[in-house]
Chain A
């Protein structure tokens, strides 16, 4: 049975509809990540689940109970906010125990619970400090701790790491992943950072323009993106897109575009048989292009090197293929020079095909 279920959830501000019918099922104790660019509706969706935004139409079910008319506190959830949303006038202990104190739990129990959670989030020494006396990372931990003391069945995270600097973010991401091992609860996590989404999620839900674009495991989404948006959104550097058309020459069929003619095999032709026309959009990830100077012309792209970005073991090459920008991942010790023309072989089964009219994936 799904633990949380969104049924045709819509949100309008005045006459402007920003969420156009979100259907989503989340299993028990699943870590679901809503990911998408700014303004895609992911935070709104989360805030509707939390009860901080009203539901315009549709329904939210938690444990088969419709909750869209209930107050946040009646939904049995805890939330971590982007700006932490700590109570500035309370010390760490008071912040973490606020909900328990409102419930009038016994003092001993509250104290025990706070100490237990402070241990988990590494704040035991800071219980008597106020939020203003903590660093960004520590405040983040308090926010997490406050959510953990609640013992709610569901945790909501609204871009919890985006206010941290890059190094701390990576560290907190790992800690979050570890905490997740210990705490088996429903978790819904909103982020615009696809790396956070990929590393943390059991299930990724990619949103764009108020619609769900695709949902599935990180691997499913990475390997079989349902449309051009998902394909371009997940993965760094992003997927390259090139217009191409099917050209027949005798018995052979070529996938041709500016600067390339790829000979299609039976498997590829089978995939492409679902295309509506001979014109398609070809997608290839930067990591799927293989530097091979002696590859056959009909199985490779020739790329002029425009720029090389050194990141360490890998470099990202920005090149030009028949007048189009294309990015390639390359081992940094590969001897190349700017302006040089390099040949990269392509494995046909690594290619992604999209219908240029509606950007949907083919095959």
Chain B
């Protein structure tokens, strides 16, 4: 009797999802018995509950002894390392224009302003591998502090359950949750731990997403320093890629042309912009829009490039007393719902679409995020509860 039928007729009804899962595991056992390791690997690459799949499974007859083995295998199958895993690497070709990147190289930006780069550091976070028909594999809590020093640099993205990589997505900077963490709370060696020179600005209680510094002017006697930061400038980009197989690893290759960081930024007379949202923000936008391309020269394809800065949340009162009503307004024509996020990054509250007020029952500092019905982040706002 097929297991689905057995379950339906038994005294103890088994949920259909469990039945389906057991079916999937049963075929795995038979594959193992046939020493067909490749077939086992493939098992995790097919749609587990697809119709064709179950058409095959329904023909399998259950035997009593198999049930115990199935239960054991089900438990093991939760471990991701049983899935088909491939080491994925992200390789950057660091450039300035057409030449390999090097510090102190004298070049001109598109405004014909001479400059050198003496410091270039930036964070990459929220890396997402888009693969196998649009599946998204997110590298959670993974941060890379980029400090280019040579022509190429390769990041190890670890063992991933991917076959065909279609695009790579990442953000420049540190996500709003960890952006306001205490750097000293990270162990030495962690990208977010204290650095020298520092990647953290104390007065903003946040990280520099990008620090680019150097000399400018025709005699290179001017100083420029652009430190891009702020949650609202945490930009994401997605680039179509075709990974190359290299000794069992899949290598995604990107070009990073740092000349474009300073495009359309006047640096001839020197400029110091530390988070004031002038040329520092422009540099971050350039990082998003034009610095990174695939080997065919194609850049960002992400439709939503950033939070629209014309959209803001108004909260009143702010600070608010404990359990007091907080009124919310977003200058958007679309209806929104809100998430309340504490300093640890946990969502402590989520409202319904169209809500205009909320209550918070614990004192502290929170980030309130507004989302559309399509889950698009519209705006963010800090809220203090006393």
Q: Do A and B form a real pair?
A: no
Q: Interface residues, chain A, CB within 8 Å of chain B? A: none
Q: Interface residues, chain B, CB within 8 Å of chain A? A: none
